[in-house]
Structure 1
Amino acid sequence: MPALLHRVKSKLFIHAHRRVRGMLDGEYRSVFQGRSLDFDDLRQYAPGDEIKDIDWKATARHGSPLVKRFIANRKHQVLFVVDTGRDFAAVAESGRQKSEVAVLAVGVLGFLAVRHGDLVSLVAGDAESIETLPPAGTEGGLERLLQRIDRRSSADAPRSDLDRLLGHVTRAVHKRSLVVIVADDDEFSEQRVHLLRRLHAQHEVLWVSVGDADLMRRDYTWREMTDVEGGALLPSFVRNDAALRDEFEASVAVLSERHVDMLESLGISSRRITGDDDVIPALFRLLEAHRHARR
């Protein structure tokens, strides 16, 4: 089986020149700058403390604002939460399989984490099973993580169920982490919003969505397109309809804007990735947006 991390490194070093790589390193480092991840105790609120560090339940009991204090540590944990249901066997906007784009995105962030001495772990799953890989701080551990994402994401996999996956993370992951959610383009349910709000209260959360292919594109009209969810064939006469093509493009734009607005309202930075060439600039913008959002 080919080494997936080798492909990640090739993409990173060929398509990102030295200055961009340095900036990407700097943006990653800034995510943890001045903030530790292990809870220690509570203390009185002081001017300048972050509002998100206030323990509201303890404050209500005590009668005055109390903030959580954390133990400084050098090793941080980056937890990748990846939807590996059959939706990720579909084609991304660039024409590549979504799982390939997801592997590249996770690989770049994971490689940055390992280089900085941090730990990477994985929670991957679908509607039938959820799998967890324990934290690792080596390239070998990262390679195993990438291989697991690639192996699970196939057209034969069970259907996707991101809400089930997020629910598992809220219950099972107690150590404060940088949680990177890699998901499909999809509508946000009320349950998902509730779960994300809970995750954001405990962890640093980033959201990466892999954009759906525009099946109405003119250069796709010669290809046979099948829905991975139900196996239905999308007729060519539908894809050749100009009015339907315009309506589809408009609906994608509206959905993307709605996603961004919803995540921003929850305090979660997000980026939509369309393909391999979009991964590095999109991740740079994601980390940069997160750094500014936390100030």
Structure 2
Amino acid sequence: MTSLITQVKSKLFIRSTQKSMHALDGAYASLLRGRSLDFEDLRPYEYGDQVRDIDWRATAKQGEPLIKRTKATRMHTVLFLVDAGRGMKALAEDERPKRDLAVLIAGALGFLTVRHGDDFSMIYGDASRVRRLPPGGTEGALEHALRTISAAIDASDAPNDRDALLSYTARNISRHSIVVIVTDEAPMTADTDRLLRRLKVQHDVLWLTVRDAEIVVAGGRPGMFDRLVDPANAPGAGLTHRRDVDTGWAIPDFVHGDAEVMAELAAQEAADTAHRNDVLRRNEITHAEFGGQDAAVPTLLAMLNRRSHARL
């Protein structure tokens, strides 16, 4: 069986020139590395690095751009909160499993974490139970973590419970961390808002949304009927005969293409999205939406660059 880390790397290194990997490295370093006045070393400039980090004297002497690195003011731990309920068994916007997309984006950030010498940990679960994996800093530990989460989603019979993950973190994690929330389009609750405000006091928080597949054909988005696509509908298998993975309710065929139904779904989805974006904006939380695996790396890079530039 191909390792999950290998699959993640295949996405990160998809370009032969590896520019995408260099850009991600630079964006990650700018975003998560602590800054101090204590010099550590020099390294060659990589695409995505901040211009302010160039050592111009060393660059002039060596004839190539060099980045001046300083010792981090603290060790970083990237803490992933991953929804692992049965809602993640459904399909993402690209008609492939949401589980695989969640594993990919957590794995990509996890790989950057390991590559830069930081630790990571993962908290995952559903409405029945929340669990935490011990911190790790190697590719082997990351492979184990990704396989654990993938297996937990496959085995889950309980609905997603994002607020339970946030509550567990708020109660049990006191050390400053980079908290990365990997979740889906389920509507925000008042408790979500309250817990995010509490987490922001202690941690840096990023929110990654895995978008759901369309519930009906020819328009509309999942909206109020969240996580509605049966994973049995693989790409090319047809878009009808869908059902809600939480309730088992089958979507009647006559609903597909109904303009009134699609308009209602679109309106509800727009309202939920606006509310979510407002909550994240008020809490100053960086957010990105992931619709499919092919665009995951560019979306991740854009998010990291957006956040790193915001800290200038």
Moved more, 185-194 or 101-110: 185-194
Q: What root-mean-square deviation, in Å, do the aligned CA atoms of Structure 1 and Structure 2 show?
A: 2.1
Q: Is it true that 1:102 corresponds to 2:102 in the alignment?
A: yes
Residues 34, 132 of structure 1: alpha-carbon distance in 2 compared, 3 angstrom cutoff:
closer
Instruction: Look up the SS of the partner of 1:14 in the other structure.
Output: coil
Output the CA distance in 2 between the equivalents of 1:127 and 1:24.
34
**Corresponding letter in the other structure for 1:234:** I
| Per-residue deviation, 1:73 | 4.7
Match of 2:256 in 1: 239
Match of 1:82 in 2: 82
Match of 2:119 in 1: 119
Q: Is it true that 1:294 corresponds to 2:277 in the alignment?
A: no
Output the CA distance in 1 between the equivalents of 2:34 and 2:285.
19
Residues 265, 15 of structure 1: alpha-carbon distance in 2 compared, 3 angstrom cutoff:
farther
**Corresponding letter in the other structure for 1:30:** S
Q: Is it true that 1:24 corresponds to 2:24 in the alignment?
A: yes
Q: Is it true that 1:285 corresponds to 2:302 in the alignment?
A: yes
Output the CA distance in 2 between the equivalents of 1:286 and 1:182.
14
Regions of 4+ moved over 4 Å:
71-74, 219-222
Output the CA distance in 2 between the equivalents of 1:167 and 1:269.
20
| Equivalent of residue 227 in structure 1, options 244, 247, 256 | 244
Residues 16, 261 of structure 1: alpha-carbon distance in 2 compared, 3 angstrom cutoff:
farther
**Corresponding letter in the other structure for 1:253:** A
Using the size of structure 1 for normalisation, the TM-score is 0.82
Number of residue equivalences: 261
Please list the CA deviations of residues 78-136 of structure 1 after superposition, one character each: whole Å capped at 9, or x if unmatched: 10000101111111111011110000000110011100001111000111111111111
Output the CA distance in 2 between the equivalents of 1:293 and 1:192.
24
Residues 104, 222 of structure 1: alpha-carbon distance in 2 compared, 3 angstrom cutoff:
closer
**Corresponding letter in the other structure for 2:268:** S
Cα pair 1:271 1:282 within 8 Å, conserved: yes
Where structure 2 has 5 or more consecutive residues not aligned to the other structure, the ranges are 37-70, 219-235
Cα pair 1:85 1:157 within 8 Å, conserved: yes
Residues 254, 4 of structure 1: alpha-carbon distance in 2 compared, 3 angstrom cutoff:
same
| Equivalent of residue 272 in structure 1, options 268, 281, 289 | 289
Output the CA distance in 2 between the equivalents of 1:16 and 1:120.
28
Match of 2:52 in 1: none
Alignment of 1:188-203 (within 5 A): 188-203=188-203
| Per-residue deviation, 1:156 | 4.3
| Equivalent of residue 277 in structure 2, options 240, 249, 260 | 260
Cα pair 2:240 2:256 within 8 Å, conserved: no
Output the CA distance in 2 between the equivalents of 1:252 and 1:16.
39
Higher helix share: 1
Match of 2:54 in 1: none
Residues 74, 216 of structure 1: alpha-carbon distance in 2 compared, 3 angstrom cutoff:
same
Output the CA distance in 1 between the equivalents of 2:102 and 2:180.
11
Instruction: Look up the SS of the partner of 1:186 in the other structure.
Output: coil
Where structure 1 has 5 or more consecutive residues not aligned to the other structure, the ranges are 37-70
Cα pair 1:267 1:293 within 8 Å, conserved: no
Instruction: Look up the SS of the partner of 1:133 in the other structure.
Output: strand
Output the CA distance in 2 between the equivalents of 1:238 and 1:198.
42
| Per-residue deviation, 1:271 | 0.5
Match of 1:139 in 2: 139
